[in-house]
Amino acid sequence: MKELLSSKIVLVEEEPSVRGIPSLPTAVAGAVGLTERGPIDEAVLCTSFESFVQVFGTFVPNSDLALAAMGFFENGGSRLYAVRTVHHLDPHNRASLTATRALAFLTAAGAPTPARVAGTEPAAWNLPDGATLTVLVDGGVEQTATFQGTAARVLTSAEPFALGEGAELRLRLGSDLIQSVLFHPPSEDPMTADEVAAAINAQLSGGKAEVTGDAIAISCDLLGLRSRLELVGGDALGLLGLVPGLSLGSGNVQNLAAVTQAEVLDLVAVELVGVRAEYNLQGSVDLRTLSTGASSTLQVSGSAAAVLGFSSEPANGSELGVAQVLRLEGKDPGSYANRLEVEVRAAASGDPWAFDLLVLDDGIVVERFANLAMDTGYPSHVETVLNDPRTGSLVLRAIDLRVPEAPLPEPQTVGLSGGDDGLAGLEVPDFIGSSSAKTGLHALDAVEEISLLLVPGWSSAPAIAHEMLRCCEVVRDGLAFAVLDPPWNCSARDCCNHVEGNGLSGLTECAAIYWPWPMVRNPDKTCFGPAEQLAVPPSGIVCGVFARTDAARPGGVYDSPAGIDKGKLFGVLGFQNAEVLEEAVRDLIYPKRINPLTTGPGLPRFIDGSRTLKGDGNFPYVAERRGVSFIERSLKQGLQFARHKNNTEGLRSQVRRTIITFLLTQLSNGAFRSTEPKKAFFVDVSDALNTPSVIFSGKLIARVGLATNKPAEFIILRISQDTRALEAEIAV
């Protein structure tokens, strides 16, 4: 403070000794699944079912995510981050997705055209390493693009190999499951390279072993960037002179045996000048010159040309032909756009530089865009208008092909085609995804506020369930909660076997499973058939109940989302397996920590359980675990102010007061078993915890104990004969 030179009142603002800790949202859900359309491997926030439909479309077969979103919002949810997945050739590479966009071209007559060579063979293409695509453009010199791909490969030490009976080598090829190779030496002598290679080839799928001199080369069958060979372990590993680790293939395509359209487009753009590759309606690619007019020429040759279906005959442009001026594509990959048509009309305004464009879905006009321009100098340029993220088309995107003099497309109606949902070959890794590529579940990694995790319908797959639990416990430090679905149409005993047989029983407090699948009104009979009711995975509805309970009052997260009041299921008409209505059946599954969905005479349909998968941990109940996670997340956020400050007694006291103030608020919100602070919690930042060695290591330790609430799972009524009058008479 500056020196005071005269009498005055001075105002000085000081840093608060107690920091406020904001209450973070408790029921923000993250979900992964299949949808009609929408961005792939991207987390999109939806705040209503209508906003979900706007981005991801409506119901389609296998649309468990849309059904879960409907149940989530109907039961009280308000924030859902949805991720669309499809089949990926390699989950570690987002660009390897197999879904494709539908497309169509708008044309203009009387315009100069490029020289064009059309491909006639649809993707994907099987090419050898070193396959070439050679072009001669406008009479210039020949240019060549080369397709390259090598296999992931490891080399053993030199023979002989002292492998004992039953020695094991464990390895993974590509993104497949781990394979095991067992060795059985034909004699007591060490095995030769030929014998080891033969043993590997007899048992290995997707790879091979070849003798190279005195050693053995083990390689993946795939050639290209997708080729992966991971040595996992086994006692034979060291005996072969190998070490655990990952080897990768190389090249400029993912898989030479399945080269995609996008890879051809990229390779041509990088290696060839004066020519570009474009998608065509046959599912192949065309090559065209960048120049237009009669002087434009193009000739294609090379070993890859025939595979892609290119003619070797020279092609010529023209001065006045029918030119493709605008490429229209589905905004997202998927077959939904195959039913779209685009109609071009003369501009209703009469402006000679403009045209109107209508988008039709199954013959019904769904979008109109007026006064579009082909000239990039106009604000209403067709790309600018249709591709605007806020006001543009919800179903299309436009690519101006930049024809000289920007001719307008003629009045015409064209249909889009070639779109594919990319579901062929769909497998568990497509839902699990990759933490490095941020695909599948890991597309949600960057969204910190997620506290609930679900993969509707697919979380019954053990590998997906285990990855969900790892994401909650490890990736999110136990601050998120997974809601698992049982297998479709399973019995109570099947559900018990599922939990126990797949290692879920007793695994974590950060997850719960609910059974059976509920029945809801069929929302779309054209999609799901004529039945009035439809079985849906419970996770979406259950997460909606969580959100409704949390929002019902301050501190709602501490209330069990179960019972006939808090656990009421909106929109549920019944259950896929009626045996859940039997008390004896519920007595079978509840000890296995499976939460039943049920009803009874005069009762609503409700959640009849509040147990996590793990019963012997600190916080074994759903509300208890989620309440503690909320407290932990809030404290983690609210104590950021203390980081990098000097670790003094004053700072530790401020941390303690800040935590206590927050916990007193939670006390008033019903977070604890007692209403007395001393019995409800404790906060310790004493010198016993913060010793000099701890302080010198840059740490400040605070220990917080919480007396959390326990739900009343069982109501026990002790009924006996009232003998008070008889006892009084005898006493006289």
CA–CA dist 575, 263 (Å, integer): 48
Question: How many helices (DSSP H) and strands (DSSP E) are in the chain?
Answer: 19, 36
Cα 258 to its chain centre, rounded Å, is 24
Q: Which two tokens stand for residue 148?
A: 């390259």
pLDDT of residue 14: 61
pLDDT of residue 404: 84
Question: Quick check: pTM over 0.75?
Answer: yes
What are the structural domains of the chain? 29-89+425-624 (3.40.50.11780), 149-251 (no CATH), 327-413 (2.60.40), 646-732 (no CATH)
Q: In what order do the strands lie in the sheet with 285-289?
A: 116-118, 285-289, 275-279
Please, which residues have CB within 8 angstroms of residue 270's CB and are 6 or more apart in sequence? 145
pLDDT of residue 723: 82
pLDDT of residue 15: 65
CA–CA dist 115, 76 (Å, integer): 59
pLDDT of residue 421: 94
pLDDT of residue 16: 66
Neighbours of 677 (CB within 10 A): 13
Q: What is the mean pLDDT of each run of 10 residues along the chain (732 residues)?
A: 67 66 85 96 97 94 92 97 93 87 92 92 92 95 96 95 94 85 93 95 94 95 92 94 94 92 92 92 90 93 95 92 92 94 95 96 94 95 95 95 90 94 92 93 94 96 95 93 96 95 94 97 94 96 97 94 96 95 94 96 95 94 95 92 93 94 94 94 95 95 94 85 85 78
| Torsional sign, CA 573, 577, 580, 581 | positive
Looking at the chain, how many residues does it have? 732
Please, which residues have CB within 8 angstroms of residue 355's CB and are 6 or more apart in sequence? 344, 345, 346, 347, 372, 408, 409
pLDDT of residue 713: 80
pLDDT of residue 447: 94
Measured CA to CA in angstroms, residue 330 lies from 340, 362, 386, 394, 502 at distances of: 9, 15, 11, 9, 41
pLDDT of residue 240: 96
